[in-house]
Structure 1
């Protein structure tokens, strides 16, 4: 018999409901969208399946979609990111089926994902493209029901563009991650703050005076580097892209290969979206007590298999802190959150104020898919510019900030070629 939901305990719902309401206080854009959805019901009769981090912010997105008439199911996009009290409240107080338990095994993670797909969704919302991947492999027979999907992460967009490039993509997808009001703010300011929050909660480490190595200088890496420097750390960037490396230098950071800075770092953070960024040869060079964490989507950036092979023992020394003792010199390496997203494994993830824009993009992109699904090909599409701009406008209004507008003379000047010096 198929479970109606699978969470830790409905007894946790009381605290979860308060926390959902608290996050909603600083999500005014999504709140306004939910009010409109409640009137227009754009998702009436639509089944929506989501694989997202089960947090207070995601809960507010689910409530907005339900207000729009959607029948929603949600599973976690990471085994350690679920906030169990939030999952409980969504089930008990809002009657939204949730399949997520913090600390769930890899096997249970995929059972939960399958529970969402068994619902035969017509719109899928992904954070890492695990739902989409299943629909292109183990659940391919369900893909015919899919009107379209949305993708929240850089990693997921890469996977979906690979499917498109190989002419394998089975339905249109909106790359929510690539919206300006998503990656310029969520990736940079959200990841920047929440990653350091996770490291500090797990370790109580002092950043001032420390050397922090940031692997990858994309928007997430920029955010972490900026925040670490603001807290008094010396920051080193590692990169494989010449332009990004040059940008990091121009921004005032040291740039060097991992095999050089491995000796210098006190804290390491990977944010590349790639595999085995920190490997055994790097661990062997690190200081005794080096802190190693990941804030890229999947737990593949730190080579934990390789680390185990060069270690004689492991133990959990603090919650979400595993101490590996190396065979060489009995040196200790500290791995945070099992190498998974440290901001969600050891902290609460991004602040609601920044997720307001990201999830507004999710909600409005889903509405766009419903309206225009028949016009779209099986491709990865950017968020329409008008949606991106409308979210920025709503966010500014919620912050009581006004901006200038072009005069008729200025509009004419910008559209002409005749006027010069």
Structure 2
């Protein structure tokens, strides 16, 4: 862990670059450097290089060099969201250092950390609030592993020339607040015999209604015999189970990432609305749990870009293991939370698809699209109707009417106006609010 934090922008995002690399500490001044050995080692440097690039350069184990996914949202995505491509590289590094330095400070204070974690904010959250996996080769581990969807694989039906490629995203603080309030399955599992299920388990919709009414943390092994075409292309059911392998009759192992057979109740509810589902087995977890982790709820935190990044790491971090490499855990709670996130994003993705946009990815509170020129001017209205934000990199759009009582509208205006100083002022005001709130809480406890 480090006491300071800063940003490094390698030329062409390559750690092998030896010229035109620039760095800036939080609340510091930018400077150019040639090699990472020139950087102060007491500072944690968040770079614009991928983890694969750092590995190739032999920097993956350096405790003061971090990849572009340190905050989960990549630096390139932040540049697009904030419209930083409109300013010089010297200004970019200073703005990113101020915003991300504040985001790190907010999360550090909320978690009670004394230093900045070396390998990512989500991992730090996982260490404190993550979950332990069930025993390998157990039914519990198998159901959790087969229910977790690590990635989405959307099928695209056409290709466009001069299309806009970008991501909408739900306001991160609001999304994190919703995810963190969800009750999640806990404990072991018990199989439910079909004669104890509504309609003997033959009607998925009746099963879903029963599970919601009786508040059962239910998981089902299913076969999908048909699904509405537009949903099927976006969902690609069965894909997304990274790390699953199987064995052929001859004993040869193979990657079985597209053979995910189990799903949690939120996903089953969605599938039963759009497809023909056969339920093969049903298990129910012992109980419900909640981490108790919450977002910092003020008017400023709701519109702060920096706190949005911190809040995203709060809920995403609960998906991590609480030991070892702090990677994504294969647990019932992870599978359930991922399904809630994915299915909510998918419902909105279907609306955007209907408006004429191609969907590339969805999940983690974000929807990636390819937007043809024919519907480009619909972006602001589509965002407003779905409660989404769109990036400032999209120039020439007519913004929707401003409503100062709506956090969504205020944050979109802060982003689209390219007033970076104002964004930073909001972030710092949010940090001061958190410091005052924590000081007041300590004084009350004495």
Same structural fold, with TM-score higher than 0.5 when normalized by the shorter chain: no
Q: Normalised by the size of structure 1, how large is the TM-score?
A: 0.27
